């Protein structure tokens, strides 16, 4: 694989996998929490939260990226505070992960929320009458029952993160080896004469990774559904 | 003794009920919409009533006056739901262990082996609920509730979703629960045969209010209280199995009177409860001769209660106990049935439904 892919292409592939992995992993707990809150709780500002979560889906990605730069950039209100603690996102791969996570978040929350809403509250009641506190009800009933949706949401988010371009390039630019993920690399190769071959290799990698993710989610989904379905 | 007193107001429905549940099975009996499930859910803590008190001795679940409102998971109850509500992602074994895991470590608990044996679910332990029949699911649900070391068992129409054959399969397990497990049971039902077979105490409900409470034989034998309507009226007799006859009949001894039923599974000498449906009873002033019906119970009319239609319910006292008969008002007039009149109650052997005959358990205490 490293022979077929040149160092520049390989670096983009490895970086994309790294960015997507961390984007998915770190946003998953928050995604489950937000999905649960939207599915089960009623609280003031619920519609505002719902809107905020879905905003990146509707806004032009460039706008999302620019907003991230404004807030998380080294001079932004949050970015400057984090910079004092030594945490910098702008123009770093971690920033690419943040951009990918934000862009993938609506898809993740949607899938998880639907699966949590599908968990019968009567089972949660039964769990409570058997002595389970709300946290235990969530851990032993809601979470395992919603697992198919959580897996689907995570894989969907991973695939979305692999393909993120607009917000990433706006927020963290296109720095080889730091923020040049597969889409950015394809874009860069297409800007120079003779880059088509490299671009095509990355296109093939993209297709393979996307198909792999779909198959994996299908496989895991089927196994988990069979388990949760009680057979 | 559990004492319940709750008031709650929904749109178009007001619940205001107070009753006591002595040890044994207390059945909340009434039509759908009479507030049975609402009451049991306030006991479980799944519904917080506007006001009320639910306590047993110094064990207080709810007291709105002093601000005590225990969360459901702190109430230590075993709730058997109508639909079982087993956890589909867990095996039967894990379902059974679920409640026990949350119970306090020093709580008196039933042994898993004993409960599995009592309910006959040993061969199901490694299956998941999706692979169980309705009756099996309900047995596992009973086991799960028992093993959570409950101080009170709640059952909300646990047989309503089952067909007749499955009901006949599960009812004996509840009878064993009543007779062999010392935990009190609060049981919701609108089925006269379940009430007749299981109840130690009956709390009759109508439109959110308690219309009668007391021992099963007393409440079911009172023609003034027909929580399920006159059509479903029927009294409960307790009897002892005297003999199994070769022709497929079982002879009971009901207060000295012989009572013939289609063969019952209980051994000779065993105690039985029999529900005699009021519409299956024929009354005759003279002792009938040359009649195909085998059971003739002489008695004295206690009360005649005319219904809204052409019917009337006649309550008569026999040596076997209180019997209700549903006849027309015209017949009551023609026969001159007034309190004190001597009369014979005729019950066809084959009219006694198998579901109406159950083992053990006294109807009076």
What are the boundaries of each domain within chain A? 7-228
Q: Would the CB atoms of B130 and A231 count as touching at under 8 Å?
A: yes
pLDDT tens sequence across A2-32: 568 888 888 999 999 999 999 999 999 999 9
3-class DSSP state for residue B112? helix
Q: Suggest the residue from A126, A128, A144, A224 to mutate for an interface test with chain B (most B CBs closer than 10 A).
A: A126
Q: Would the CB atoms of B77 and A129 count as touching at under 8 Å?
A: yes
Q: Which chain B residue's Cα is nearest to A224?
A: B89
> Do B112 and B147 touch, CB atoms closer than 8 A?
yes
Taking each helix axis from N to C terminus, what angle separates A7-40 and A93-117, rounded to the nearest 10 degrees?
40
A219 inside 8 A of chain B by CB: no
Q: Would the CB atoms of A129 and B78 count as touching at under 8 Å?
A: yes
Has residue A128 got a pLDDT over 60?
Answer: yes
Question: Percent of chain B having pLDDT more than 70?
Answer: 98
What domains lie within chain B, and their CATH numbers? Answer: 2-220 (3.40.50.300), 234-359 (2.40.50.100)
Nearest Cβ partner for B79 among A123, A126, A134: A126
Alpha-carbon gap, residue B323 to B247, rounded angstroms: 27
pLDDT tens sequence across B139-182: 999 999 989 889 899 999 998 888 888 888 888 888 888 888 88
Confidence of residue B63 (pLDDT cuts 50, 70, 90): very high
**The two three-digit tokens of residue A230, written as one number:** 């009680």
What does the DSSP assignment read for A9-39? HHHHHHHHHHHHHHHHHHHHHHHHHHHHHHH
C-beta atoms surrounding B234 within 10 Å: 25
Which residues of A fall within a CB distance of 8 Å from B154? Answer: 129
Which residues of A fall within a CB distance of 8 Å from B88? Answer: 123, 145, 228-230
pLDDT tens sequence across A26-82: 999 999 999 999 999 989 989 999 999 999 999 999 999 999 999 988 888 888 888
> Do A168 and A184 touch, CB atoms closer than 8 A?
yes
Confidence of residue B365 (pLDDT cuts 50, 70, 90): very low
List beta partners, residue B9: B14
A224 inside 8 A of chain B by CB: no
The residues in A 100-129 lying below 8 A from B, measured between CB atoms, are 120, 122-123, 125-129
3-class DSSP state for residue A58? helix
Q: Would the CB atoms of A130 and B148 count as touching at under 8 Å?
A: yes
pLDDT tens sequence across B286-326: 888 888 888 999 999 999 998 888 889 999 999 988 999 99
Q: Would the CB atoms of A133 and B73 count as touching at under 8 Å?
A: yes
Q: Is B329 exposed, middle or buried (0-12, 13-18, 19+ CB in 10 A)?
A: middle
What's the pTM value of the predicted model, to 2 decimals? Answer: 0.82
Alpha-carbon gap, residue B346 to B314, rounded angstroms: 13
> Do A182 and A9 touch, CB atoms closer than 8 A?
no
What does the DSSP assignment read for B43-67? HHTSS--SEEEEEETTEEEEETTTT
pLDDT tens sequence across B176-199: 888 888 889 999 998 888 888 899
Q: Which helix (H) or strand (E) covers residue B126, if one does? A: none
Report H helices in A88-195. 93-117, 121-129, 134-137, 143-145, 147-163, 166-172, 182-191
pLDDT at position B294: 87
Higher-confidence residue of B39 and B109: namely B39
Spell A4-23 as b/e; 16+ CB within 10 A means b.
ebeebbbbbbebbbebbebb
Q: Would the CB atoms of A126 and B103 count as touching at under 8 Å?
A: no
Those residues whose C-beta lies under 8 Å from the C-beta of residue B139, and which sit 6 or more positions away, are B119, B120, B121, B170, B173
Alpha-carbon gap, residue B235 to B152, rounded angstroms: 28
> Do B84 and B156 touch, CB atoms closer than 8 A?
no
Pairing status of strand B77-80 against strand B68-69: unpaired
Q: Suggest the residue from B40, B91, B102 to mutate for an interface test with chain A (most A CBs closer than 10 A).
A: B102
Q: Is A86 exposed, middle or buried (0-12, 13-18, 19+ CB in 10 A)?
A: exposed
Q: Sign of torsion, CA B339 B343 B349 B350?
A: negative
Q: How far is the alpha carbon of A132 from chain B, nearest alpha carbon, in Å?
A: 5
Report H helices in B181-318. 192-198, 216-220
**Choices 1.10.167.10, 3.30.1490.190, 1.10.3720.10, 3.10.580.10: CATH for A7-228:** 1.10.3720.10
């Amino acid at each position: 694989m490293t022979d077929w892919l040149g160092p520049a292409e390989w670096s983009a592939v490895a970086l994309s996998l790294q960015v997507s992995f961390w984007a998915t992993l770190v946003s998953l707990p928050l995604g489950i929490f937000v999905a649960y809150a939207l599915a089960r709780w009623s609280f003031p500002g619920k519609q505002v939260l719902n809107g905020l979560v879905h905003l990146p889906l509707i806004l032009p990605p460039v706008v999302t990226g620019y907003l991230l730069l404004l807030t998380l950039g080294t001079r932004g209100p949050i970015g400057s505070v984090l910079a004092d603690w030594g945490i910098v996102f702008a123009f770093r791969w971690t920033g690419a992960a943040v951009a990918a996570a934000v862009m993938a978040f609506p898809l993740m929350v949607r899938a998880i929320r639907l699966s949590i809403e599908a968990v019968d509250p009567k089972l949660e009641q039964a769990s409570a009458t058997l002595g389970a506190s709300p946290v235990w009800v969530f851990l032993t009933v809601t979470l395992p029952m919603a697992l198919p949706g959580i897996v689907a949401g995570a894989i969907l988010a991973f695939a979305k993160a692999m393909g993120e371009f607009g917000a990433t390039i706006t927020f963290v630019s296109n720095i080889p080896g730091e923020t040049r993920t597969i889409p950015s690399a394809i874009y860069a190769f297409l800007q120079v004469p003779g880059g088509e071959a490299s671009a095509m290799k990355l296109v093939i990698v993209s297709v393979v990774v996307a198909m792999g993710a779909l198959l994996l989610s299908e496989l895991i989904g089927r196994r988990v559904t069979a388990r949760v379905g009680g057979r | 003794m559990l004492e319940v007193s709750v008031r709650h107001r929904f749109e178009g429905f007001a619940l205001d009920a107070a009753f006591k549940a002595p040890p044994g099975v207390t059945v909340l009996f009434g039509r759908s919409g009479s507030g049975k499930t609402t009451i049991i859910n306030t006991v479980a803590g799944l519904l917080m009533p506007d006001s009320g008190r639910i306590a047993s001795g110094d064990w207080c679940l709810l007291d709105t006056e002093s601000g005590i409102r225990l969360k459901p998971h702190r109430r230590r109850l075993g709730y058997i739901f109508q639909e079982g509500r087993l956890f589909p992602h867990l095996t039967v074994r894990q379902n059974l262990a679920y409640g026990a895991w949350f119970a306090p470590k020093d709580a008196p608990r039933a042994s898993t082996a004993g409960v599995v044996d009592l309910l006959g679910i040993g061969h199901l332990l490694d299956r998941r609920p999706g692979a169980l029949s309705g009756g099996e699911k309900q047995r596992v649900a009973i086991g799960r509730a028992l093993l959570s070391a409950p101080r009170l068992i709640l059952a909300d129409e646990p047989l309503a979703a089952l067909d007749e054959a499955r009901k006949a399969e599960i009812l004996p397990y509840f009878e064993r629960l009543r007779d062999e497990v010392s935990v009190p049971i609060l049981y919701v039902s609108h089925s006269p045969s379940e009430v007749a077979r299981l109840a130690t105490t009956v709390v009759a409900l109508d439109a959110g209010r308690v219309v009668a409470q007391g021992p099963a034989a007393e409440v079911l034998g009172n023609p003034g209280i027909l929580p399920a309507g006159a059509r479903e009226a029927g009294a409960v007799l307790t009897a002892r199995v005297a003999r199994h006859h070769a022709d497929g009949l079982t002879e009971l001894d009901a207060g000295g009177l012989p009572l013939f039923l289609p063969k019952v599974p209980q051994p000779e000498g065993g105690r039985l409860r029999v529900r005699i449906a009021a519409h299956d009873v024929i009354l005759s002033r003279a002792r009938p001769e040359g009649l195909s019906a085998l059971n003739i119970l002489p008695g004295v009319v206690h009360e005649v209660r005319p219904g809204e239609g052409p019917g009337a319910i006649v309550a008569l006292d026999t040596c076997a106990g209180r019997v209700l008969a549903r006849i027309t008002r015209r017949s009551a007039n023609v026969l001159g049935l007034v309190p004190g009149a001597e009369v014979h109650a005729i019950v066809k052997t084959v009219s006694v439904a198998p579901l109406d005959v159950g083992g053990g358990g006294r109807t009076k205490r």
